[in-house]
Structure 1
Amino acid sequence: MNTDRVGTYRTGTDDSAPLALSQEHMWESMRFLNPAHPGATFLTMPAANTIRGELRPAALEAALNAVVSRHEELRITLSETGAGARQRVAEHIRVPLAVDELPEDPDQARARAHLLHAAEDDRPFDLVRGPLLRARLLRHSAREHVLLITFQHLLVDGWGLGSFYQALEAAYGDTVTGRAPSLPPLRASYREVAARQWARADFGRAACEAYWREQLDGAPPPLEIPCDRPRTALSGGEYAVRGFAFGQATADLLTSAAWRWRTSPFTVLTAAFNLLLHRLTGTTDVCVGSVRTTRSDPDAAALVGQFTNTVFLRTRFSPADDFAALVGRVSRTVREAYDHDIPYRRLLDLLGLDRSGGHPRPPGDVCQGWLQVNGGGPAPEAASAALPLDGFDTPPDSLPTRLYPAGDDPRRLASFARENPTFEFDADYATGVMQYNTQIFGKETIDHLADQFRRTLTMALNNPGQPISKLKRS
């Protein structure tokens, strides 16, 4: 067992500690995106919510800082940003709430809010000096505001956002009435839970490494799905993010099928993604990359922190399989992969994908596509009447194509979108975004690919007993 990561989790003479398992996963992504200066990568996680009703900014700022005081993971900085990055937890930090006025015209106000939201997303953090979150309140009127909170992804994941807002609403319910925040104490700190995760990873290391050696031995090469331009020179160019919408009816069909098959919507969606790639390329050996939550420790549920890991889901199937059988195959793959969870750094070493210099084989070459579902954390509870938060997301059909230089891409999925687009679904399975390389794909092709995925999923769900080779192409 690696004793450097257990006990109190404070091991350095400078009061620094090793990165948590999930933080190391994020740090490896940052090192890939910017090997020379990983601390300069963005990896921001912006969150925006509309607040309708009377609001007291001073009470909101007090509530925000009460949450920061409660959750040590929100007070983390790095002791340095080299290959041996370590974390520090400050005893106290204050996060100011900046207030900006929006134009009176509703359309202008919304456009300005989206512009400020995008600007926050594109502004990096100083990982050494901190703090690694910032907050802005956009005031449209006395009874309508937009709250922007931006995190460095080392601090929080999709589930953690739910925990954060749950605590923020509860704290504001106290501060707005002049009371001190009365948030219940946490059963364990982030570092304590992280130490347990490293201990479990060390305990089962041999079995996990043996599983992944066998599972990814002879992994299929990258797929060449139909594109607009040759793949001969993939250096340079730009990546782009584009929204898509499957619609609520398709999402309801998906969740109903998952309930009927006693599996998760993600598993069914992954099976449909396998089917899509089969239809596009003819392959029957597909390795899909994804990200999973690592909150199996019951004390992790209430924490805001970063608890994710990259996982590769390799499924072999036959064109004679029907879709229900394919779902069964993917379900087994997902269960086995989760049962053999391995720290991402160790998996890269196991596969010979050391990215410390040169990284001749990007991790995106291990998988033929990337599919993930974001969010899924706890919903706000009793205090929501005091701080009624509504989503402030741009509708996918009006989301602009945003471009990022490929040589210094700030997005963490860039290594996986190098050749084929990635799919990121929202928690409702109805909407999401794709990231793609504009050097080989045009946005019309990306829109068509998203629609092909939707139609493939719908066709398969409506004909689950028919061999996938005979499913009608529409």
Structure 2
Amino acid sequence: MPIQYIDYALWQRAYLGDPADPDSMIAAELRYWQKTLADMPTHLELSPGQPDATSYDTRGDTLAVRWPAALHRQITELARAQHATSFMVVQAGFTALLSQLAVSNDIVVAIAVAGRRHPSLDELVGVFVNTVLLRIAVAPDLDFAHLLDQVRTRSLQALDHQDMPYGVLVDQINAARSSPAGPLAQVMLAWQNNKPAELALGELDITEAPVHTGAARMNFLLSLTEQFTESGEPAGISGVVEYRTAMFTPTVIEAITDRLERLLTVVTANPRRQLSSLPDLDRLP
């Protein structure tokens, strides 16, 4: 193997440099994120009576999500027409839903990125995943196509600045806050579109079995995976919502996922529809 994980760790430290050095890469990244996240909201309330974001009760549960192949095809076709990706279409729909539910036009969502920017890291074993934040301004008179344009632009900008370690960013932003320290984002979207890894150990048949730990990493984490037929055609999108039970009831989580599916069905059929005219996006039970 040409390089090992320790080589990457040492390279990253040298590449980013010292945050105290204004000419270092990490200082430049920090300036970008401080400007992007300036005056960002500290709390995203999706349901009535939701506890404050600084609550540290991490007990959680999960809910399975499954969207049909027909919706997957609509998402893929709109992404192609708008020079975007399927992830960006779903992210735009998710942002529109959060804006309606929270009655806010300033939405921040955490996004997981692979972190393997160099081809030499493709086969290397180790954790490279980082988190970036997408901050989107949602105007009620905006149509979905223009919201998708904004999401695409913000996503590409975030990927250009994905080298900033998320833990360092959280510490730096919270240190400058006058309000109580809490997570920069309480909602996260994770997206997988690669084929499931195949593992063979002699004659053993190995099957992936997700295990829920009883805890939730964030208030609301929506993790989705694209499914494809053998010929590469969209076959549906499946996934899971991991949520904190102190924040949401199962009924609320089911309502959120159902409304997201309905919203995406509507806007992928008519991307010029104004966000303010979308149905069934009132406050949750």
The amino acid that maps onto 1:369 is: V
* 1:231 corresponding residue in structure 2: 51
CA distance 1:467–1:207, change in 2 (3 Å): same
Q: Equivalent of 1:310, from 119, 122, 131?
A: 131
What per-residue deviation string (whole Å, max 9, x for no partner) do you get for residues 250-282 of structure 1?
Answer: 223222322222222222111111100122122
The answer as to 2:167 corresponding to 1:345 is yes
The amino acid that maps onto 1:376 is: N
The answer as to 2:79 corresponding to 1:258 is yes
Question: 8 Å contact 1:207–1:340 — kept in the other structure?
Answer: no
CA distance 1:387–1:315, change in 2 (3 Å): farther
Range 320-329 or range 252-261, more displaced: 252-261
The amino acid that maps onto 1:192 is: D
The answer as to 2:268 corresponding to 1:458 is no
Q: Equivalent of 2:181, from 361, 374, 379?
A: 361
Q: Secondary structure at the match of 2:32?
A: helix
What per-residue deviation string (whole Å, max 9, x for no partner) do you get for residues 398-451 of structure 1?
Answer: x9xx683xxxx4x4x1xx21xxx2211124361111122223422122112111
Q: Give the whole-Å Cα distance in 1 for the aligned partners of 2:58 and 2:9.
A: 38
The answer as to 2:267 corresponding to 1:445 is no
CA distance 1:392–1:349, change in 2 (3 Å): closer
Which structure has more relative contact order (CA 8 Å, sep 6+)? It is 2
Range 252-261 or range 232-241, more displaced: 232-241
Q: Equivalent of 2:223, from 414, 424, 431?
A: 424
Q: Give the whole-Å Cα distance in 2 for the aligned partners of 1:450 and 1:215.
A: 28
The answer as to 2:141 corresponding to 1:320 is yes
Q: Give the whole-Å Cα distance in 2 for the aligned partners of 1:288 and 1:282.
A: 15
Q: Give the whole-Å Cα distance in 2 for the aligned partners of 1:390 and 1:255.
A: 31
The amino acid that maps onto 1:437 is: R
Question: 8 Å contact 2:141–2:276 — kept in the other structure?
Answer: yes
Q: Give the whole-Å Cα distance in 1 for the aligned partners of 2:105 and 2:140.
A: 7
* 2:189 corresponding residue in structure 1: 371
Question: 8 Å contact 2:144–2:271 — kept in the other structure?
Answer: yes
CA distance 1:443–1:467, change in 2 (3 Å): same
Question: 8 Å contact 2:96–2:138 — kept in the other structure?
Answer: no
Alignment of 1:126-137 (within 5 A): none
Runs of 4+ in 1 over 4 A off after TM superposition: 232-237, 377-380, 386-394
Q: Give the whole-Å Cα distance in 1 for the aligned partners of 2:213 and 2:208.
A: 22
* 2:21 corresponding residue in structure 1: none
* 2:14 corresponding residue in structure 1: 199
> In the TM superposition, what is the alpha-carbon distance from 1:361 to its structure 2 partner?
1.9
- Pairwise CA RMSD of aligned residues? 3.1
Unaligned runs of 5+ in 2: 18-23, 228-235
What per-residue deviation string (whole Å, max 9, x for no partner) do you get for residues 286-328 of structure 1?
Answer: 1101211111111001112211101111111322221111111
Q: Give the whole-Å Cα distance in 2 for the aligned partners of 1:256 and 1:387.
A: 41
> In the TM superposition, what is the alpha-carbon distance from 1:221 to its structure 2 partner?
2.7
The amino acid that maps onto 2:182 is: P
Q: Equivalent of 2:105, from 284, 302, 307?
A: 284
TM-score of the superposed pair, with normalisation by structure 2: 0.79
What per-residue deviation string (whole Å, max 9, x for no partner) do you get for residues 9-46 of structure 1?
Answer: xxxxxxxxxxxxxxxxxxxxxxxxxxxxxxxxxxxxxx
* 2:93 corresponding residue in structure 1: 272
Q: Equivalent of 2:42, from 215, 218, 221?
A: 221
TM-score of the superposed pair, with normalisation by structure 1: 0.50
The amino acid that maps onto 2:157 is: E
Q: Equivalent of 1:298, from 116, 119, 122?
A: 119
The amino acid that maps onto 2:194 is: G
> In the TM superposition, what is the alpha-carbon distance from 1:369 to its structure 2 partner?
2.0
Question: 8 Å contact 2:190–2:222 — kept in the other structure?
Answer: yes
> In the TM superposition, what is the alpha-carbon distance from 1:391 to its structure 2 partner?
4.9
CA distance 1:378–1:369, change in 2 (3 Å): closer
Q: Secondary structure at the match of 1:283?
A: coil
> In the TM superposition, what is the alpha-carbon distance from 1:230 to its structure 2 partner?
5.4
Q: Calculate percent identity across the aligned residue pairs.
A: 26
The amino acid that maps onto 1:424 is: S
Unaligned runs of 5+ in 1: 1-185, 355-359
